[in-house]
Amino acid sequence: GAVPVITIDGPTASGKGTLASRVAQRLGYHHLDSGALYRACALAAQRAGIAPDDEPALAALAAALPLRFEGGRAWLGTPGEDVTDRLREEAIGQMASQIAALPALRAALLDWQRRCRRAPGLVTDGRDMGTVIFPDAQLKVFLTASAAQRAERRHRQLAAAGVSATLPALLADLEARDARDRSRSSAPLKAAEDARQLDNSALSIEASVEQLLRWWDDAQ
Protein backbone atom coordinates (compact mmCIF):
# COMPACT_ATOMS: atom_id res chain seq x y z
CA GLY A 1 0.00 0.00 0.00
CA ALA A 2 0.89 3.68 0.01
CA VAL A 3 3.51 4.98 2.48
CA PRO A 4 1.63 5.86 5.69
CA VAL A 5 0.89 9.52 6.47
CA ILE A 6 -0.63 11.09 9.57
CA THR A 7 -1.76 14.71 9.10
CA ILE A 8 -2.27 17.17 11.95
CA ASP A 9 -3.92 20.46 11.00
CA GLY A 10 -5.11 23.28 13.20
CA PRO A 11 -4.81 26.94 14.14
CA THR A 12 -1.72 28.81 15.33
CA ALA A 13 -0.16 27.62 18.60
CA SER A 14 -2.56 24.70 18.98
CA GLY A 15 0.41 22.45 19.76
CA LYS A 16 0.54 20.75 16.32
CA GLY A 17 4.30 20.90 15.99
CA THR A 18 5.09 19.34 19.37
CA LEU A 19 2.44 16.67 18.90
CA ALA A 20 3.61 15.81 15.37
CA SER A 21 7.23 15.59 16.42
CA ARG A 22 6.45 13.34 19.43
CA VAL A 23 4.24 11.01 17.40
CA ALA A 24 6.86 10.81 14.63
CA GLN A 25 9.47 9.93 17.23
CA ARG A 26 7.30 7.19 18.78
CA LEU A 27 6.58 5.61 15.38
CA GLY A 28 10.06 6.14 13.92
CA TYR A 29 8.52 8.21 11.09
CA HIS A 30 9.73 11.37 9.35
CA HIS A 31 8.26 14.72 10.46
CA LEU A 32 7.37 17.61 8.16
CA ASP A 33 6.55 20.98 9.76
CA SER A 34 4.93 22.64 6.74
CA GLY A 35 4.67 25.98 8.54
CA ALA A 36 8.48 26.13 8.55
CA LEU A 37 8.37 25.88 4.77
CA TYR A 38 6.13 28.97 4.49
CA ARG A 39 8.31 30.74 7.05
CA ALA A 40 11.46 29.89 5.06
CA CYS A 41 9.82 31.39 1.95
CA ALA A 42 9.06 34.54 3.94
CA LEU A 43 12.64 34.82 5.18
CA ALA A 44 14.12 34.17 1.73
CA ALA A 45 11.75 36.75 0.19
CA GLN A 46 12.62 39.33 2.80
CA ARG A 47 16.33 38.81 2.11
CA ALA A 48 15.81 39.00 -1.65
CA GLY A 49 13.80 42.20 -1.29
CA ILE A 50 10.65 40.64 -2.77
CA ALA A 51 7.41 42.35 -1.73
CA PRO A 52 4.84 40.15 0.09
CA ASP A 53 2.31 40.76 -2.71
CA ASP A 54 4.59 40.00 -5.68
CA GLU A 55 2.98 36.64 -6.46
CA PRO A 56 5.02 35.64 -9.57
CA ALA A 57 8.35 36.46 -7.90
CA LEU A 58 7.33 34.61 -4.72
CA ALA A 59 6.20 31.55 -6.68
CA ALA A 60 9.53 31.45 -8.57
CA LEU A 61 11.42 31.78 -5.30
CA ALA A 62 9.37 28.97 -3.69
CA ALA A 63 9.81 26.64 -6.68
CA ALA A 64 13.59 26.79 -6.31
CA LEU A 65 13.84 27.22 -2.54
CA PRO A 66 17.18 25.75 -1.35
CA LEU A 67 15.77 24.48 1.97
CA ARG A 68 16.66 21.30 3.87
CA PHE A 69 15.47 19.95 7.23
CA GLU A 70 18.20 17.93 8.84
CA GLY A 71 18.98 16.95 12.41
CA GLY A 72 15.93 18.85 13.65
CA ARG A 73 17.25 22.11 12.14
CA ALA A 74 16.28 24.10 9.05
CA TRP A 75 19.03 24.97 6.55
CA LEU A 76 18.60 27.64 3.91
CA GLY A 77 20.87 28.23 0.92
CA THR A 78 23.91 26.39 -0.34
CA PRO A 79 25.98 25.17 1.49
CA GLY A 80 23.28 25.99 4.05
CA GLU A 81 22.81 28.42 6.91
CA ASP A 82 21.03 27.28 10.09
CA VAL A 83 17.92 29.50 10.10
CA THR A 84 15.88 27.51 12.68
CA ASP A 85 15.69 30.33 15.23
CA ARG A 86 15.05 33.05 12.65
CA LEU A 87 12.08 31.08 11.30
CA ARG A 88 10.38 31.24 14.71
CA GLU A 89 10.39 35.05 14.85
CA GLU A 90 6.94 36.66 15.07
CA ALA A 91 7.61 39.00 12.13
CA ILE A 92 8.50 36.03 9.93
CA GLY A 93 5.33 34.22 11.05
CA GLN A 94 3.26 37.27 10.12
CA MET A 95 4.81 37.52 6.68
CA ALA A 96 4.45 33.74 6.18
CA SER A 97 0.74 34.02 6.90
CA GLN A 98 0.42 36.86 4.39
CA ILE A 99 2.22 35.11 1.51
CA ALA A 100 0.55 31.76 2.30
CA ALA A 101 -2.69 33.21 0.91
CA LEU A 102 -1.19 33.33 -2.63
CA PRO A 103 -2.30 30.35 -4.79
CA ALA A 104 0.80 30.38 -7.05
CA LEU A 105 3.09 30.20 -4.03
CA ARG A 106 1.11 27.29 -2.54
CA ALA A 107 1.18 25.47 -5.88
CA ALA A 108 4.95 25.87 -6.07
CA LEU A 109 5.34 24.15 -2.69
CA LEU A 110 3.06 21.19 -3.41
CA ASP A 111 5.62 18.73 -4.82
CA TRP A 112 8.23 19.64 -2.25
CA GLN A 113 5.78 18.59 0.48
CA ARG A 114 4.62 15.41 -1.27
CA ARG A 115 8.22 14.26 -1.74
CA CYS A 116 8.50 14.10 2.07
CA ARG A 117 6.25 11.02 2.04
CA ARG A 118 8.96 8.41 2.37
CA ALA A 119 9.17 5.01 4.09
CA PRO A 120 8.65 4.08 6.81
CA GLY A 121 6.09 6.91 7.13
CA LEU A 122 5.42 10.61 7.66
CA VAL A 123 3.76 12.74 10.32
CA THR A 124 3.07 16.23 9.05
CA ASP A 125 1.49 19.35 10.57
CA GLY A 126 0.07 22.52 9.06
CA ARG A 127 -3.21 23.98 7.81
CA ASP A 128 -4.04 21.97 4.67
CA MET A 129 -2.13 18.72 5.09
CA GLY A 130 -5.28 16.58 5.27
CA THR A 131 -7.41 18.63 2.87
CA VAL A 132 -5.00 19.44 0.02
CA ILE A 133 -1.51 17.97 0.30
CA PHE A 134 -2.27 14.42 1.50
CA PRO A 135 -6.00 13.87 0.94
CA ASP A 136 -5.44 10.09 1.09
CA ALA A 137 -3.70 10.18 4.51
CA GLN A 138 -4.50 7.10 6.60
CA LEU A 139 -5.16 9.26 9.70
CA LYS A 140 -6.17 12.94 9.76
CA VAL A 141 -6.40 14.94 12.95
CA PHE A 142 -7.77 18.46 13.41
CA LEU A 143 -6.27 19.90 16.57
CA THR A 144 -7.84 22.80 18.43
CA ALA A 145 -7.45 24.60 21.75
CA SER A 146 -9.15 27.69 23.12
CA ALA A 147 -7.68 31.02 21.97
CA ALA A 148 -6.82 31.89 25.58
CA GLN A 149 -4.91 28.61 25.99
CA ARG A 150 -3.04 29.14 22.75
CA ALA A 151 -2.06 32.71 23.64
CA GLU A 152 -0.77 31.51 27.02
CA ARG A 153 1.29 28.76 25.44
CA ARG A 154 2.80 31.19 22.94
CA HIS A 155 3.51 33.57 25.83
CA ARG A 156 5.42 30.87 27.73
CA GLN A 157 7.37 29.84 24.60
CA LEU A 158 8.39 33.44 23.96
CA ALA A 159 9.29 34.05 27.60
CA ALA A 160 11.49 30.94 27.56
CA ALA A 161 13.22 32.40 24.50
CA GLY A 162 13.73 35.70 26.32
CA VAL A 163 11.15 37.60 24.26
CA SER A 164 8.64 39.76 26.08
CA ALA A 165 5.13 40.21 24.71
CA THR A 166 1.83 41.01 26.38
CA LEU A 167 -0.97 38.46 26.47
CA PRO A 168 -3.58 40.75 24.86
CA ALA A 169 -1.21 41.55 21.97
CA LEU A 170 -0.47 37.84 21.43
CA LEU A 171 -4.17 36.99 21.51
CA ALA A 172 -4.93 39.68 18.94
CA ASP A 173 -2.10 38.43 16.74
CA LEU A 174 -3.25 34.78 16.91
CA GLU A 175 -6.81 35.73 16.10
CA ALA A 176 -5.75 37.88 13.13
CA ARG A 177 -3.58 35.10 11.74
CA ASP A 178 -6.29 32.44 12.18
CA ALA A 179 -8.96 34.65 10.61
CA ARG A 180 -6.72 35.14 7.57
CA ASP A 181 -5.96 31.39 7.35
CA ARG A 182 -9.66 30.45 7.61
CA SER A 183 -11.02 33.03 5.18
CA ARG A 184 -8.53 32.75 2.31
CA SER A 185 -9.88 31.11 -0.84
CA SER A 186 -6.79 28.98 -1.51
CA ALA A 187 -6.50 26.01 0.91
CA PRO A 188 -8.24 27.65 3.88
CA LEU A 189 -7.72 26.28 7.37
CA LYS A 190 -10.53 23.80 7.98
CA ALA A 191 -10.96 20.23 9.13
CA ALA A 192 -11.05 17.54 6.44
CA GLU A 193 -14.43 15.80 6.39
CA ASP A 194 -12.79 12.56 7.52
CA ALA A 195 -10.60 14.19 10.21
CA ARG A 196 -10.73 13.23 13.90
CA GLN A 197 -11.18 16.31 16.08
CA LEU A 198 -9.01 16.74 19.16
CA ASP A 199 -9.41 19.68 21.56
CA ASN A 200 -6.29 19.66 23.71
CA SER A 201 -7.17 22.69 25.90
CA ALA A 202 -7.28 20.46 28.98
CA LEU A 203 -4.93 17.67 27.84
CA SER A 204 -1.27 17.17 28.60
CA ILE A 205 1.01 16.64 25.62
CA GLU A 206 1.48 13.00 26.72
CA ALA A 207 -2.29 12.43 26.76
CA SER A 208 -2.60 13.91 23.26
CA VAL A 209 0.22 11.67 21.99
CA GLU A 210 -1.50 8.58 23.47
CA GLN A 211 -4.84 9.53 21.90
CA LEU A 212 -3.23 9.84 18.47
CA LEU A 213 -1.42 6.54 18.83
CA ARG A 214 -4.71 4.83 19.77
CA TRP A 215 -6.36 6.29 16.66
CA TRP A 216 -3.38 5.14 14.62
CA ASP A 217 -3.79 1.59 15.97
CA ASP A 218 -7.50 1.71 15.10
CA ALA A 219 -6.65 2.82 11.55
CA GLN A 220 -4.44 -0.27 10.93
Which residues belong to the annotated binding site?
10-18
Tell whether residue 117 is a contact of ligand C5P (CB under 6 A).
no
133/209 with CB nearer ligand C5P: 133
- What b/e sequence results for 70-106 when a residue is b if at least 16 CB atoms lie within 10 Å of its CB, and e otherwise? eeeebbbeeeeeebeebbbeeebbebbbebbbbeebb
Q: How far is the CB of 191 from ligand C5P (least distance, A)?
A: 14
4/34 with CB nearer ligand C5P: 34
Residue 23 CA, chain-centre distance (Å), reads 15
What x/- string results for residues 77 through 106 when contact with ligand C5P is judged by CB under 6 A?
A: ----------------x--xx--x------
Q: Tell me the residue number closest to ligand C5P, measured at CB.
A: 35
134/216 with CB nearer ligand C5P: 134
- The answer to whether the beta carbons of residues 191 and 142 sit under 8 Å apart is yes
CA distances from 90 to 43, 78, 151 (A): 12, 25, 13
Please state the residue numbers annotated as binding site for ATP.
10-18
Tell whether residue 131 is a contact of ligand C5P (CB under 6 A).
no
79/84 with CB nearer ligand C5P: 84
Tell whether residue 10 is a contact of ligand C5P (CB under 6 A).
no
Residues at the site binding ligand C5P, with contacts judged by CB under 6 A: 12, 34-35, 38-39, 93, 96-97, 100, 126-129, 177, 181
